[in-house]
Each structure stands twice: as structure tokens, then as C-alpha cells.
Amino acid sequence: MRVGRTSLLWKRLAPLGAAACLVSGCTALTTDVLVNEAGRPRSPVTTHCAGSEWTDNSMLAVVPLPIIGYASPTQEINEIKTNDVLARCGPPERLTNRHVEIDRAWCVPAAVTRVLTLGIWQWCPANVSWEADVTPPPVATAAPPAAPMRSEDEPRSEGGVEEPGS
């Protein structure tokens, strides 16, 4: 009798375990960290820039033929680049502690578009989030003003010709 209860319990818990593995695996596959620079000390004059937005990260089969496209590798149509995303915060030389992450979790249910197009195209709505610390611009050192010429230093001339020895 004990064997029957154990196998019944196993049959009930197995789908839950499989679902947990599937969900955690999908999360690992759908989240991509482009850059993660953490741990630099933050100065008190630094500002923080953060945000997120939805963007199209659709994919097209390299060989765009129906049905053959399923076996073909895919290429992103709108590639998401770190510098383009962080340009919202300022120039790259002023950014520190950068973090850019792409969440493609909604690409999984949107895979039906690949089925409908016979493997040629897949729509992929992606959520791009970013954050960075922005340092202040460098202070430009101004050159000291030129000293004004004194009247003794000015050359003396009459009629536009300089006299020698004067």
C-alpha cells in the first residue's frame, strides 16, 4: 500500500516540478544582460539615470523560404545595442555602473507568428531596461588672460615707419 501512495504523490508532484523547471528555464533563456558594470563607488555629485521601454526585437530566418525557415538560423531585424540604449543618459565617457537588460519573455507566446509565417518571421516584443550613474562634465581649465601691453613696450612709429634707436 505504501508504494501506491508514493507513486500517487509522485504523479501529483511531477507536473509541478516540471512546470517549475520549465518556467525557470524560460526565464533564463528570455533575459539577456548586455552590460553589467557594478561595484564602482558612486561620488556624491553623480546623478542616476534609469528607465525601460518596449521595443521590437523581431527575427527573420536567414533562409526565408517557407518550412525551410524553421531549420534556418535567425537574424534580429532591430538589433538592440548597449551604446544606443545608454545614449539616453549621456555620452559614454561620463557613464559608470552601467546595466542594460533585455527581457524577451513575451517572445515565447509570440512564437505563434513564426508558425503562421511558416518559419520565415517571428515577432518579438522585448522590454529593454537600463540604468547608469552619470558623472558631471569635466571642468575646462581656462587659459590665463593675456597681460595688456604697456605704453613703454609699444613700438614708436611716425607715418607707419618705425624709427631705429627710439
Stated pTM of the model:
0.62
Q: By residue range, what is the domain housing residue 52?
A: 31-137
In terms of phi and psi (left: phi > 0; alpha: psi -120 to 50; beta: otherwise), the region of 119 is left
Instruction: Encode pLDDT of 96-115 as tens digits.
Output: 899 999 999 999 899 899 99
Task: Tell me if 123 is assigned to some domain.
Answer: yes
In angstroms, the CA 117 to CA 76 distance is 16
Tens digits of residue pLDDT in 65-98? 999 999 999 999 999 999 999 999 999 999 989 9
Band of pLDDT at residue 44, cut at 50, 70 and 90: confident
In a domain, 55, yes or no: yes
Long-range pairs for 106-109: beta carbons < 8 A, 24 or more residues apart: 107/30, 107/57, 108/26, 108/30
Report the number of distinct structural domains present in the chain: 1
In a domain, 108, yes or no: yes
Nearest to 81 by CA among 120, 124, 38, 32: 32
β-sheet bridge partners, residue 35: 100
